[in-house]
């Protein structure tokens, strides 16, 4: 992420998230405050504004003010880059999402994603989106993203699970 920011000095990055060890869930076994170290590196960038954590009710309006939503993950023993709960929230905005690889979105044209284990390609993917933002945020694409998010709400998934359970109870 830091490399992506440094390679795009003409882009303003307005970032939301923890900037200290008090309000993050990154965890650290070394005792080093990973979030604070990263936040300090980000603060050195002239094109970055750090907003800190944001109340849930403020997030939709904030996302509406953005052109690109960014998700950056790295594979770890406890996170295998399969999915992110933030993705549905991002897709619900309709805005283009640029992200590191998440296997749940393999083959999807709803997001612009790096290939598996090739996070280093994210800056070039991001640049491609910046240079053709009108295409990526076209009204039809925004509508498709919003529709996908609406089809995949927790309530809808719970309904699917309930139907599955009921069908299997009747078979038993």
The reply to whether the predicted model has a pTM over 0.75 is yes
Pairing, β 13-15 against β 111-113: unpaired
Q: Which of 108, 106, 109 is nearest to 82 (CA)?
A: 106
90 burial via Cβ count (<10 Å: 0-12, 13-18, 19+): buried
Q: How far is CA 90 from CA 38, 86, 98, 133, 145, in A?
A: 23, 6, 10, 16, 9
pLDDT band at 153 (very low <50, low <70, confident <90, very high): confident
pLDDT band at 18 (very low <50, low <70, confident <90, very high): confident
Q: Give the domains, in start order, of the chain with CATH numbers.
A: 2-171 (3.40.50.2000)
> Per-residue pLDDT for 167 more than 90?
no
């Amino acid at each position: 992420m830091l490399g992506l920011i440094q390679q795009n000095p003409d882009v303003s990055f307005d970032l939301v998230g923890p900037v200290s060890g008090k309000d993050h869930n990154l965890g650290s076994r070394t005792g080093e405050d990973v979030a604070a170290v990263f936040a300090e590196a980000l603060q050195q960038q002239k094109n970055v504004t750090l907003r800190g954590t944001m109340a849930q009710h403020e997030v939709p309006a904030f996302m509406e003010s953005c052109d690109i939503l960014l998700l950056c993950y790295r594979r770890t023993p406890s996170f295998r880059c399969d999915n992110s709960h933030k993705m549905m929230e991002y897709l619900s905005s309709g805005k283009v999402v640029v992200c590191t690889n998440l296997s749940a979105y393999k083959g999807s044209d709803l997001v612009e994603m790096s290939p598996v284990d090739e996070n280093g390609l994210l800056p070039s993917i991001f640049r491609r989106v910046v240079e053709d933002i009108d295409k990526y945020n076209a009204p039809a694409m925004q509508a498709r993203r919003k529709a996908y998010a609406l089809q995949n709400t927790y309530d809808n998934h719970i309904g699917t699970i309930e139907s599955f359970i009921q069908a299997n109870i009747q078979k038993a």
